Amino acid sequence: MRKGLFPIFRLICGGATLLSVLFIGGNVAVIAFRGASSLPECLFDGETLFAVGLSVRTASISSLLCFALAIPTAYTLTRTRIPCRPAVEVILELTLSLPYIVLGLSLLIIFASPLGKAIKAGGFPVVFSPNGIVIAQLAVNLPFAIKLAVTAFKGVDRKLERVAGLLGATPGRCFLTVLLPLCRNALISAFILVWSRALGEFGATLMLVGVTRMKTETLPASIYLNVSTGDLGTALASAFILLVISVLSLTLANVLTRSGVGRLRYDEH
């Protein structure tokens, strides 16, 4: 690139960056300032507390289920040879690009089928039930959790595991004593991000369980319900709570990621 064009290119990039910051920051600022003013009168409202409790409970359960599946799946993808690997990877990542309401529709069809009715008869209702919130969050976040776990495992030098294997450690012992400790901060950071995403999930949940006050009312559902009924103050309060949780989660995740990278570099030296 000629020297005369370089300042123009930097100016264009700087302008685009400024527009991006203003656009994104403007949206955040509206929720921060308007939501903060509405929070005191809504924070201890029974419906708001119910939405917070249900959101935290379902997000925690679905995130634990995500990583119970994501960690062994990521290990399989990064440490073993499996047939049709490209097809498996495409299947696992495909839903990342699908609208969440499409996932909700597929879940609704599955759990409204004879199989779903049999599951309900066995004591685990899903459709129009809080259990469905966990299932919807799991469907949305599992591919994301797998991708984060795969990235964490790929960042570990496999020579360390080979050395442990030469010293007599079994693959299971290598996994527990070498791989997981080296990925600990990255996996905790990934869990926090997945948990935060689960709190804000709405599209698949709306399709599978609907929105019923004080039954399937999560924080995003509370926003939807209150905007629909014209109660903008309560909707903004719920949005502000989600914003605060997201900021705290992102900050903690970034701190853990940086400390994990720093520790790994220290260990390499």
pLDDT digits (tens, 9 = 90+) for 12-44: 888 999 999 999 998 889 888 888 888 887 777
Would 219 be classed as within a structural domain?
Answer: yes
Q: Can you give the pLDDT at residue 48? A: 85
Residue 253's pLDDT band, with cuts at 50, 70 and 90, is confident
pLDDT-based confidence at residue 260 (cuts at 50, 70, 90): low
Other Cβ atoms within 10 Å of 60 Cβ, number? 15
Dihedral of CA atoms 57, 60, 65, 71 in degrees, nearest 10, equals 180
Residue 1 covered by a domain: no
In a domain, 164, yes or no: yes
The average pLDDT across 159-172 equals: 79
Q: What is the pLDDT of residue 82?
A: 82
The answer on pLDDT for 135 being more than 90 is yes
**Confidence band of 96 (pLDDT split at 50, 70, 90):** confident
Q: Would you say residue 23 lies in a domain?
A: yes
Query: What is the domain-level CATH number for residue 134?
Result: 1.10.3720.10
pLDDT at 1 over 60: no
Q: What is the pTM of this model?
A: 0.85
- 189: in domain: yes
Residue 264 confidence class, pLDDT cut points 50, 70, 90? very low
| Domains held by the chain: number | 1
Give the list of residues 6+ apart from residue 216 with CB closer than 8 angstroms, or none: 54, 128, 129, 130, 132, 133, 205, 209, 210
Q: What is the mean pLDDT of residues 92-107?
A: 88
Range of the domain at 96: 6-268
pLDDT band for position 214 (50/70/90)?
confident
Average pLDDT over residues 255-266: 60
